[in-house]
C-alpha cells in the first residue's frame, strides 16, 4: 500500500473514530513479527516445515494428547517457541494500542502467547491462547512466572508436589479456557464502536466472529494485514501494510 493511499484511508478511519470511545483490537502473530518474532507459518515461520524432526506435524507435537503421552517431546517444541520470544520487546504497534487506553475504552483480544501487549502497558488483554511465560502445575495449584526457560530442566516438575509443569497455553486439541471465553462474551455483549483486526489470519471462528458482529452492528471495522484473509471482504477498510505503520498513521499522524 503506497503512502498516499494509506494517509487517505487513515484520515477516513480517524474521522469515523471521532467521538468513539470503545475499541476492540484483535491481534495475531503478524503484529508481534514487528517485534522480531517469527510468525508461525510461511517463509521464515517458526513452523514453516510440514513435519518436525520427530516425524510428526507440529500440531501433533504441540497437542494435548502428545503432552500427556510424551511430555518431553512437547516441551522441546514449547522451549523452541519460548526461545523465539525471549528478549523480545513491544513494537510500535503494541505501544500505540497501550497508549490509546488514555483516551479510549480499549480491549485487546490476542492469539499471541508472548505477553507483549501487557509488557507495553495494555491492561485489558484477553490472551485467549495463554502466555508461555506463565507455568502451572498439572496436579496442584502451584504457578510461577518465568521470564525465560534457560536453566529449566525439561520436562520440568513442580517444586511443591513433583507433578509435571506446563505453560499456561492452549495446546492443539485442547479447549479454550472457559473464564477467558466468558470474559470475551461479556465484552462482545457490551459492543464496540470500532473493531480492528491486526496481523491475524482470522482462521479461528472466535477471532473472525467479532468482525461479523461489527458488520451486524454497523460499527467501524478495519483489517491491517498485507495478506488476504477470510474477513478481508467483511471489513469496512482494508489496510495492506504493517501494524505499526498503519496504527501510527491513524492514531499518531505526523503534523
Catalytic residue list: 129
Angle at 176 between CA 70 and CA 216, to 5 degrees: 150
Cα(108)–Cα(31) distance, integer angstroms:
12
Give the Å distances, CA to CA, from 191 to 56, 124, 195, 250: 42, 15, 10, 22
Cα(4)–Cα(177) distance, integer angstroms:
43
Phi-psi region of 29 (alpha: psi -120 to 50; beta: other; left: phi over 0): alpha
Cα(203)–Cα(229) distance, integer angstroms:
8
Amino acid at each position: 500500500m503506497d503512502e498516499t493511499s494509506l494517509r487517505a484511508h487513515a484520515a477516513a478511519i480517524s474521522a469515523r473514530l471521532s467521538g468513539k470511545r470503545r475499541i476492540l483490537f484483535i491481534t495475531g502473530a503478524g503484529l508481534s513479527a514487528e517485534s522480531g518474532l517469527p510468525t508461525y507459518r510461511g517463509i521464515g515461520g517458526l513452523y514453516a516445515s510440514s513435519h518436525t524432526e520427530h516425524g510428526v506435524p507440529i500440531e501433533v507435537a504441540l497437542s494435548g494428547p502428545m503432552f500427556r503421552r510424551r511430555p518431553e517431546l512437547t516441551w522441546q517444541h514449547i522451549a523452541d517457541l519460548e526461545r523465539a520470544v525471549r528478549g523480545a520487546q513491544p513494537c510500535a504497534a503494541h505501544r500505540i494500542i497501550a497508549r490509546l487506553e488514555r483516551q479510549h475504552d480499549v480491549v485487546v483480544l490476542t492469539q499471541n502467547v508472548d505477553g507483549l501487549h501487557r509488557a507495553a502497558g495494555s491492561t485489558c488483554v484477553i490472551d485467549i491462547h495463554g502466555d508461555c511465560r506463565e507455568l502451572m502445575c498439572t496436579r496442584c495449584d502451584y504457578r510461577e512466572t518465568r521470564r525465560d526457560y534457560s536453566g529449566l530442566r525439561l520436562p520440568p516438575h513442580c517444586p511443591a508436589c513433583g507433578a509435571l509443569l506446563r505453560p499456561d497455553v492452549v495446546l492443539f486439541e485442547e479447549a479454550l479456557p472457559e473464564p477467558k471465553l466468558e470474559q470475551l462474551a461479556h465484552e462482545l455483549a457490551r459492543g464496540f464502536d470500532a473493531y480492528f483486526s491486526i496481523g491475524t489470519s482470522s482462521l479461528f471462528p472466535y477471532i473472525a466472529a467479532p468482525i461479523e458482529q461489527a458488520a451486524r452492528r454497523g460499527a467501524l471495522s478495519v483489517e491491517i494485514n498485507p495478506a488476504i484473509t477470510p474477513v478481508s471482504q467483511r471489513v469496512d477498510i482494508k489496510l495492506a501494510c504493517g501494524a505499526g505503520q498503519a496504527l501510527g498513521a491513524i492514531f499518531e499522524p505526523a503534523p
